[in-house]
């Protein structure tokens, strides 16, 4: 399996601090995506980074990708209580054109931001 694995499993910080979550995977990928899930809700897409990209930004989010180390990180700057959620990385690979958009999700990092 080339399932992504997030680290840490849980992260607790104070409002205003930065939060960094890491994702490692096992096989070559086409792209890596980060999703957020609030309690009791569905997943919401945050950022997609392709295998030929090294860094992407979206507002307070910064994602890096190191394909040589098969790892990615998600940085949330100046965190807010509303950022409290679970964060998942998902990897997509193209197995000879048969992947058809299949994503493999990690187990997630639970982020708690205290006011």
Partner 1 sequence: NAGVTQTPKFRVLKTGQSMTLLCAQDMNHEYMYWYRQDPGMGLRLIHYSVGEGTTAKGEVPDGYNVSRLKKQNFLLGLESAAPSQTSVYFCASSYGGFNQPQHFGDGTRLSIL
Binding site for partner 1 (CB under 8 A): 3, 30-31, 33, 35, 40-45, 48, 50, 88, 90, 92-94, 99-108
Closer residue to partner 1 in complex, CB, 34/73 = 34
Cα distances (Å, whole numbers) of residue 65 to 17, 20, 23, 74, 114: 22, 13, 9, 9, 28
Closer residue to partner 1 in complex, CB, 2/15 = 2
Closer residue to partner 1 in complex, CB, 35/83 = 35
Closer residue to partner 1 in complex, CB, 70/93 = 93
């Amino acid at each position: 399996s080339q399932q992504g694995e997030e680290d840490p499993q849980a992260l607790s910080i104070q409002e205003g601090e930065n939060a960094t979550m890491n994702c490692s995977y096992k096989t070559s990928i086409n792209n890596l995506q980060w999703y957020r899930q609030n309690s009791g809700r569905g997943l919401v897409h945050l950022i997609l980074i392709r295998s030929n990209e090294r860094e992407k930004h979206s507002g307070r989010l910064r994602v890096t990708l190191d394909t040589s180390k098969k790892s990615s990180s998600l940085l949330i700057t100046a965190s807010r209580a509303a950022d409290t959620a679970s964060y998942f990385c998902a990897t997509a690979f193209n197995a000879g054109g048969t992947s058809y958009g299949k994503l493999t999700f990690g187990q997630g990092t639970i982020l708690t931001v205290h006011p």
